[in-house]
Homo-oligomer: A and B are copies of this chain.
Amino acid sequence: MTKITSKREEDYSKWYNDLVVKADLAEHSAVKGCMVIKPYGYAIWEKIQADLDKMFKDTGHVNAYFPLFIPKSFFSKEASHVEGFAKECAVVTHYRLKNAPDGSGIIVDETAKLEEELIVRPTSETIIWNTYKGWIQSYRDLPLLINQWANVVRWEMRTRLFLRTTEFLWQEGHTAHATREEAIVETEKMLHVYADFAENWMALPVIKGTKTANERFAGALDTYCIEALMQDGKALQAGTSHFLGQNFAKAFDVKFVNKEGSHEYVWATSWGVSTRLMGALIMAHSDDQGLVLPPKLAPFQVVIVPIYKGEEQLKQISEVAIKIKKALETKGIRVKYDDRDTQRPGWKFAEYEFKGVPIRIAIGGRDLENGTVEVARRDTKEKESLQQTQLETKIEHLLQQIQDNLYQKALAMREDKTSYVDTYTEFKEVLETKGGFIMAHWDGTAETEIKIKEETKATIRCIPLNNKQESGTCIYSGKPSFQRVVFARAY
């Protein structure tokens, strides 16, 4: 039977890793830093993809696909972008292998050296803006609202499944606009889409805000983000949306003729979420018994397990089970009926608990007589006996209740782990003992931000949108401040 021996309270990091591997979500591959996303994990990612994709399309975006490789020289075109992205990356230098003369295997064919090295994309602004140059001539060609689902590579020395891997899957939106205002509206719109998804699909409360200059995306004028809190009190950036100004249009010379007939540089945004969301989802809700999945993203929302003696009884139970399955499916509920005879009911109970299936329905001999089923919730572990009649409506409500409960639980946890501090001593103490989000005054300088980071490993996660303005003094420098910002140690 699958289970994990590490406890969440004792060793959060080991607990997380065990859970990811044993619940068939992902594992490390033979290639350093790259993961294999296993079928159950991939099924959750497919659900995330499908739901996000629908939200992108509902907001007017279309998908396209751009090359995996980027010529090295493209990175040098945007000054700050090169600093942020063109360093730790996979470099393709050759395009052929050949048999070793000594018969020992295959070796790189040195005659097949590329004139210009190709970089495996760490993000696609450069190749996409180089392409947009051919697509944009007039204001009639704008806005361009394009998204790409792709794999990207950033060479990482220390990796953790889903949270930080050399190769990861993501989506990257890249939009082009005629005006600054329209680009900013787009940047904020996508931030709200991400927050909506985090809160209403992942059941994960997030703070929406902007990054400090220091933490911005390389090449952006402004980076918006959603920040979530994990059960161990560490923050996790769950999505970012960047207002890129005219930086990439200038770097790749993308101009358009406006309605008045004059030439202007195009305004840009980019925004992305990645398989990192899988890490957030797992860490936010799970417990020592395994995964806990919010119903909206669970590959199976309901599993039905028969408890039977003999083939005849299984046949009778199966009839009821299949009828229930069909009734649930008409409500759009995703159901698995597990009638395998290779495993006992107890094993199945533990397995689906471990895999985080939101609702388990068990049907036994007595249920047949009474017209009942036993319904168990994964989140609260409560069980109740319900009549089979109109079960689909009850289950539908229950799924919504579980979804809401997970969100409320995560919100209560976050509120519990959010502290307001006014001195640096208190700041450090809270950080060591309780962790979580720390709301503190900051003097607005990069210098102070960097000092605090060096001394405590805490970073400014964001400056919340519509932040309350109040006068105070910076916890570090004592200089005047007009608002608190969100500090935390982060993944």
Q: Does A353 contact B (CB under 8 A)?
A: no
Task: Tell me which of A29, A90, A120, A342 has the highest count of chain B C-beta atoms within 10 A of its own C-beta.
Answer: A90
Partner of A42, one of B31, B63, B93: B63
Question: Which residues of A from 28 to 52 have beta carbons under 8 Å from B?
Answer: 29-31, 34-39, 42-43, 45-46
Note all chain B residues with C-beta closer than 8 A to A257: none
Task: Name which residue of chain B comes closest to A99, CB basis.
Answer: B82
Determine the distance from Cα of A119 to Cα of B31 in the docked complex, in whole angstroms: 11
Inter-chain contact A31/B86, CB cutoff 8 Å? no
With a cutoff of 8 Å between Cβ atoms, the chain B residues found around residue A333 in the complex are none
> CA of A70 to CA of B97 in the docked complex: distance in angstroms?
13
Chain B hits for A63, CB < 8 A: 39, 42-43, 46
Q: Is the CB of B105 within 8 A of A67?
A: no
Partner of A75, one of B75, B106, B117, B150: B106
The CA-CA distance from A306 to B153 in the complex, in Å, is 47
Contact across chains for A91 and B90 when beta carbons are under 8 A apart: no
In whole angstroms, what is the CA distance A177 to B36 when docked?
21
Report A59-81 CB contacts with B as 1/0, cut-off 8 Å. 00011111111111111100000
Using known A-B contacts A39-B146, A86-B106, A106-B86, determine if residue A29 contacts B76 with beta carbons closer than 8 Å. Answer: no
Say yes or no: is A87 at the interface (Cβ < 8 Å to chain B): yes
Q: Is the CB of B93 within 8 A of A91?
A: yes
Among B38, B68, B76, the residue within 8 A (CB) of A151 is B68
Given A106-B76, A155-B96, A167-B67: A118 in contact with B87 (beta carbons within 8 A): no
Determine if B118 and A67 form an interchain contact, defined as CB atoms under 8 angstroms apart: no
* Cβ of A109 to closest chain B Cβ, rounded Å: 8
- Size band of the interface chain A makes with B: 35 or more
Contact B42 A62 (CB under 8 A): yes
Task: Tell me which of B29, B90, B96, B127 contacts A29 (CB under 8 A).
Answer: B127
Q: Is the CB of B67 within 8 A of A38?
A: no
Q: A35-B67, A62-B42 are in contact. Are A97 and B87 (CB under 8 A)?
A: yes
Segment 107-129 of A: residues with Cβ below 8 Å from B:
108, 117-120, 127
- Interface assignment of A4: CB less than 8 Å from any CB of chain B: no
Task: Give CA–CA (A155, B92) in the complex, Å.
Answer: 12
Closest to A70 in B: B31
- Taking a contact as CB atoms closer than 8 A, the residue among B42, B76, B96 that contacts A105 in the complex is B76
Q: Are A97 and B69 in contact (CB under 8 A)?
A: no
In angstroms, how far is the closest chain B Cβ from the Cβ of A4? Answer: 18
Residue in contact with A94 in the complex, picked from B91, B130, B342, CB distance below 8 Å:
B91
A66 touches B29 (CB 8 A): yes
**Contact residues in B for A117 (Cβ distance below 8 Å):** 108
Q: Across the interface, do A90 and B65 meet the contact criterion of CB distance under 8 Å?
A: no
| CB neighbours of A87 from chain B (8 A) | 96-98
Contact present for B39 and A64 (CB under 8 Å)? yes
Among B93, B118, B167, contact of A69 (Cβ-Cβ < 8 Å): B167
| Minimum CB distance partner of A35 in chain B | B67
The chain B residue with its CB closest to the CB of A117 is: B108
Q: Tell me whether A62 and B39 are in contact in the complex, defined as CB-CB below 8 angstroms, given that A30-B127, A91-B93, A117-B108 are known contacts.
A: yes
**With A and B bound together, what is the CA distance between A355 and B92 in angstroms?**
37
A106 to B153, CA, bound (A): 18
Contact of A88 with B by CB under 8 A: yes
11 A-B pairs besides A30-B130, A86-B106, A90-B95 with CB distance below 8 A are A30-B71, A31-B69, A36-B66, A38-B64, A42-B62, A42-B64, A67-B167, A68-B120, A87-B96, A89-B97, A120-B120
**Which residues of A are in contact with B by a Cβ distance under 8 Å?**
27, 29-31, 34-39, 42-43, 45-46, 62-76, 82, 86-98, 105-106, 108, 117-120, 127, 130-131, 134, 140, 146, 150-151, 153, 155, 167, 169, 342
Interchain residue pairs with CB less than 8 A apart (20): A29-B127, A29-B131, A30-B67, A31-B118, A34-B68, A34-B69, A35-B67, A39-B64, A42-B63, A42-B64, A43-B63, A46-B63, A65-B169, A67-B167, A69-B90, A88-B96, A90-B118, A91-B94, A91-B96, A93-B93
